[in-house]
Structure 1
Amino acid sequence: MGFEFGAVLAFVVVSIGFAFVALTIGRLLRPHFPEATKATIYECGEKPIGRAWMNFNPRFYLIALVFVIFEVDIALTFPVVAVFKEWVARSPTAGFIALGELLLFTLILVVGLIWVWAHRDLEWVKRLQTGVASEPRPTGKRAA
């Protein structure tokens, strides 16, 4: 019973060992020439202007994350849709359970999309909020 996944375990062990050996051999054989230009911000020879650390707009991350999530949805949904007809032919109950799970999975993603949309995180240019400004906070000093 324990040897059912022996081939998979052997494959994982050999692949991890191969990666470790390849990285170790590369580290031992490659030349090591530290230079001041390699430690600069841009290794391509471009003269740096200012500091490398700057604010990066997080909306890029959110748009990319939503894109990746829906790409994974397509990648996971397509195989189920491809064999769904066979599942229903074999057992209608199993087919409808698979359909329910697929719809639940898609519903969770749609709810997430609605949440992101409701918080206006998909807008590229944010609008300024209009309304009454809050009152200034007290400074702790009393008028004399």
Structure 2
Amino acid sequence: MEANTDELKKFLENKISSLKKEIEYYEYLLSLLESGYAPIKGNKGSLDSIKNRKGEIIAEVYFTPPIAKIIIRKKISLQRAYINALSKILEESKDNDKIDYNIVFDNDAIKEISINNIKDDFIYNKIKSAIQAILERATS
């Protein structure tokens, strides 16, 4: 009887985890609509992940042009040097590529990065790669 209870418990925990991710995705889509985003016909969004060197997912990247949202999945407290590097990269892209961004912290842990006005895949990949490098180093 206990084996069935353990299996049921594991199933329910996995289902809850899966549903939480789905809810977060729908909340993200709702936030896009509330922020005034109007989807362009034929434009497809993508979901990508950022992993640490151990292969664990540390962040998920939702990209629906022209908006990208990076949601941090693990608690990551960035050292001042990493915050400065992240700010420098985003500020340079703000000046050069005319993006807007917002970084959300919960106490000292980074929670989310929102980036608006990403005009093409090159800019998206440049920013995502830079953020990925910083998060990988910060979690190793």
TM-score > 0.5 by shorter chain = no
More helix by share: 1
- Bin of the TM-score, shorter chain as denominator length: under 0.3
TM value normalised by structure 1: 0.25
Q: RCO greater where, 1 or 2, for CA within 8 Å and sep 6 or more?
A: 2
Which structure: larger Rg?
1
